[in-house]
Amino acid sequence: MAFLTLQDISMRFGSRERGFLALDRVSLSVAEGEFVTLIGHSGCGKSTLLNLIAGLMVPSAGRIMCDGRVIDRPGPDRGVVFQNHSLLPWMTCYENVLLGVRQVFGKTLSPAELRDKVEASLSLVHLDHAMAKYPHEISGGMKQRVGIARALAIEPRILLMDEPFGALDALTRASLQDELARIVEATRSTVVMVTHDVDEALLLSDRIVMMTNGPGARIGEIASVALPRPRDRLALATDSEYADCRARLLQFLYLKQRRQAA
């Protein structure tokens, strides 16, 4: 059964006459526990779609439902991870995670229980040793892990990730992808993730939503990745299902939705 539903979502920035239509009647259903990736060329509206699901903006038309409720604002049922970690620089890693945990559970849990939640989520991303450090004292990969811990600590029903590893080097990126796969497996999270990276999408997702170029972007195709999760990146390299799916994605991006370089 659908857990998250996007029903005929359109998004126009600015006025009806002179504004810009970013998304044109996008519909999508995501089941509980599913990992869905949005992929498409730069500027097609992936972040806009994710921000709409996050409730950071409201659609010009259509509606988004999560677990039977209409989404019209941000809420603790949705945890968001952005590309640039957006940690508060004057707070330690522990305090950055505590901020959200206190907001969501502050009235119902004791200070010791709040502390346990923060520690458990930082431990999930292997940052037990860095809790007392400030953002400027840790690496880019570690900052992204704090961002993931912060999103997970509020125990969201759905995790929304906007190119979470986009700013990292290839090796750090690969190890964080593996870590995310492990965490999603352990927490059975529902995830919607934006990426530019075909291999990242194939490694992590159950379904890959390919978006057409804007203006008025729509869903072009949806590919199901019929391989059990979590996946082994080395085994994938010789898997025929992986190769077929990869070819389909590349054809969509570089043949059907070809873009001239800016």
Ligand X SMILES: Nc1ncnc2c1ncn2[C@@H]1O[C@H](COP(=O)(O)OP(=O)(O)OP(=O)(O)O)[C@@H](O)[C@H]1O
Which two structure tokens, joined as six digits, stand for 176?
């964080």
> DSSP state, 56?
S
Element (H, E) at 64: strand 61-66
Segment interacting with ligand X, rule: CB under 6 A, options 40-48, 89-97, 142-150, 240-248: 40-48
Q: Is 13 in the site for ligand X (CB under 6 A)?
A: yes
Question: CB-wise, 8 or 116, nearer to ligand X?
Answer: 8
Query: Which of 74, 83, 155 is closest to 114 using CA atoms?
Result: 155
Shortest Å distance, C-beta 165 to ligand X: 14
Pairing assessment for the beta strands 35-39 and 219-224 based on DSSP bridges = unpaired
Pairing assessment for the beta strands 158-162 and 78-81 based on DSSP bridges = parallel
Task: State which of residues 4, 6, 9, 22 lies at the interface with ligand X (CB under 6 A).
Answer: 22
Shortest Å distance, C-beta 83 to ligand X: 8
Question: CB-wise, 183 or 217, nearer to ligand X?
Answer: 217
Q: Is 80 in the site for ligand X (CB under 6 A)?
A: no
Q: Is 177 in the site for ligand X (CB under 6 A)?
A: no
Task: State which of residues 28, 30, 46, 79 lies at the interface with ligand X (CB under 6 A).
Answer: 46
Q: Tokens 């969201």 appear where? A: 156
Shortest Å distance, C-beta 221 to ligand X: 16
Question: CB-wise, 45 or 147, nearer to ligand X?
Answer: 45
Tell which positions 196-225 bind ligand X, by CB under 6 A: 214
Cα atoms in the Cβ-side hemisphere of radius 13 Å centred on 83: 12
Q: Is 195 in the site for ligand X (CB under 6 A)?
A: no
Query: Which of 66, 26, 70 is closest to 46 using CA atoms?
Result: 26
Residue pair 246/199 in contact (Cβ under 8 Å)? The answer is yes
For the window 48-67, what string marks contact with ligand X as x by the rule CB under 6 A? x-------------------
Residue pair 46/203 in contact (Cβ under 8 Å)? The answer is no
Q: Give the interface with ligand X as residue ranges (CB under 6 A).
A: 13, 20, 22, 40, 42-48, 214
